[in-house]
Structures are given as C-alpha cells and as structure tokens.
A = this chain, B = another copy of it.
C-alpha cells in the first residue's frame, strides 16, 4: 500500500481523489501497489464529503508521517505551495503538481531537491491539462533534437477564438459566454492576456533546453485586440487565428513568443477548437508530431496528476531522470525574431505600403472597404517596426505561423 496526501481540496485536488477512487483497481495494477489517500490538507472542513475524515489543517501532520511517500500539490500559486513542496521533497516524499506558476518559477530547484532526496518532482498536469506532453518530451522524444515547440496551451482563449470564428461573435460576447460556462474566470486577465500560456511555454522550453527559461523574457500578447474583421480576412486567406505559444531553437537562443497567429487551415493546430489544447513538437529527424486533448477541467487535469502518482509509486526511492537543471536558458532578443506578418491598413495607405513593402498583394473585404490587408515577406520584428513607422493609416498586424 502506497500512501499519499493531497494539498488543497479544490477543483483539481478533489478530482485527484475522485480519479484515484474511480479507477482504483486499474491504478493499483499499474502502480504495482494500491494507492490510498491518507490526508487532505485544506483550510476548510468538508462535512458530508466522502473524504471528510481525511482532512487535516496542519501540513506538519503530513510532513512528519513516514507512511506518506507521495504528495499531490494541487493548491496553485507560489506560497505556501513552494514551501510545502520543498519541505516534502526534503523529507524524501515525491511531489506531483498541477501548479504551472510554481514549476515555471522554481522547477529546476525542486527537481534538484528531488534528486538529492531520492524522490521525484513530477508536473505533467502543469501544461496541457490531461494531454501527456511532459513525459513524452522526457521519455519518448529522446532520440530527437527538438527544434520547435508550438501549441495552443490555453483552453479559455481557444474557446473564445473558436466562437468568434464559427459564430461571428465579438470578443466581449465570447468571453461572456466562456465565463457563463465556467471556462473563464471572473477576472480573465491571466488567460486572455496570454500569461497562462506564457508560463506553460516557459516550462516546455526549459525541458527542451535543460535550463530555466525566465518567463518574464517571453514576448506575450493576448487576444483582446482580435475582432470579427480579422476572422473575415483569415477566412478569405483559408486560415484561422489562434493564440499560439511558439518556441524555436536558434543560434542566438530560444525565440519564444505568445501571441495571436494567423495560420493556414492545413496546419494541424488550425483544427484544434473549443477548449481543446494541442502541442506540436518538431524534431530534427522525426519531423512534426502533435499531442491533442483537453487542456483543462477537473478530471482531465486530475488524471495527469494521478498518472504522476503512478509513476512515483513505480519509482519509490529512485529519481527518474529529467534534464532540466538550474541556470538560465538564453532567450533570443525579441527584435530579431523573424516571420511573416499579416497587416491591415487604411485604403489611403496603399502608396506608402507599396513603397515600403515588397510584392504587396492586397486582400479586400466587401465588409471593410475603407481598408485592405496584405502579407509581408519574412522579416525581423525590428525591421517590421521600422517599415510600419513609415505608414500612415496602419490598423494592426497579426503574426503568421508558417
């Protein structure tokens, strides 16, 4: 019997208890041992809950119980999750977490503590919810030089963009609907401004680089500026618009950004709709591969935490290798990032545009006759900004994912 504790009995934490109980037998078989939840740490009590008697309010009960070998940290946020995770690892207890904030900030240190104490720090649920992506990068794509990771890493924004595309909704309308359905928080900033996706691509890139990516250095734009006219243009170009997190290895470091991208319908990511997430990984000999599924939600996220618990149970007293070490990975200068741009300008900018950009092919919408759009050649961000300054009547740009 392997005994575990759950820190935080909110959505994910209660999901972990539910998955462990619902698939108990199968999980015991796969883990090589039955897994029992002995404690649940929460400030609240849960009278009437099937796990009522397991609730404790003091972390020390868990840390000082030698029977506990696995701790599921499903509290979220930096503190007290950080202190609790450190102390659990120092006590030789493996930690499985869904906490992207903590992993992005302190992953390398917590992984080191796990190594030093012959236990594990696993965080499959921190990126892509129920989609297996951390373990595939660590244990499956090991023959590859990973040259690019790109993905739809936030379900809320993908739901909003899907509604805008398929039903012609305004951003505010789609956001309201997402909130009504519980997909978006009342304060939706972390999702719609791209901060959530930013933490996640920082984690994925750290795994690929083997060193920590400082997420503050990632250029991050949200989707609040996207409007139905953008989607009308996208449709005309046989494309769609997605909030992508993109990370590419270059000689100058990792080029990383989170922003709305225009991408052709034939791109596998273009077909990822609603709250679904997907991560595309490009390897130097494998080419493109993609992992797709539910990026959030109680049970999918809990399922990923429980898969980590199974892996811990299979490797008691043994640290499973993960090449992410302390030290900072180089993030390339944003100004030098290269790509094509989709640009909307006022009709009167036509002469300017043709002087400044090469081979301009205007795209015109019947529904927006006062403007037109075009797609640039591939150029650096800084170079684009210079060109843009020379144009009176610039409306907006959206990057293109090639």
Contact = CB atoms under 8 A, between A and B. Distances in A.
Contacts of A143: 19-20, 23, 27, 302-307, 309-310
Interface stretch (A191-199, A287-295, A337-345, A383-391): A287-295
A297 to B, nearest CB: 8
Interface residues of A, number: 56
A116 interface: no
Contacts of A273: 266
A98 to B, nearest CB: 13
Contacts of A20: 143
A255 to B, nearest CB: 20
A11 interface: no
Best-surrounded residue of A30, A31, A305 (most CB of chain B within 10 A)? A30
B307 A142 contact: yes
Best-surrounded residue of A136, A143, A293, A302 (most CB of chain B within 10 A)? A143
A303 B291 contact: no
A289 B292 contact: yes
Contacts of A130: 283, 286-287, 289
B144 A285 contact: no
Interface in A136-150: 136, 139-145
Contacts of A284: 22-23
A285 B307 contact: no
A309 B140 CA distance: 11
Interface string A292-326: 11100001101111110111001000000101000
A285 B297 CA distance: 10
A285 B136 CA distance: 20
A30 B62 CA distance: 34
B271 A285 contact: no
A31 B292 CA distance: 27
12 contacts: A18-B285, A27-B143, A31-B142, A32-B321, A132-B141, A135-B136, A144-B307, A268-B272, A285-B300, A286-B299, A289-B293, A314-B321
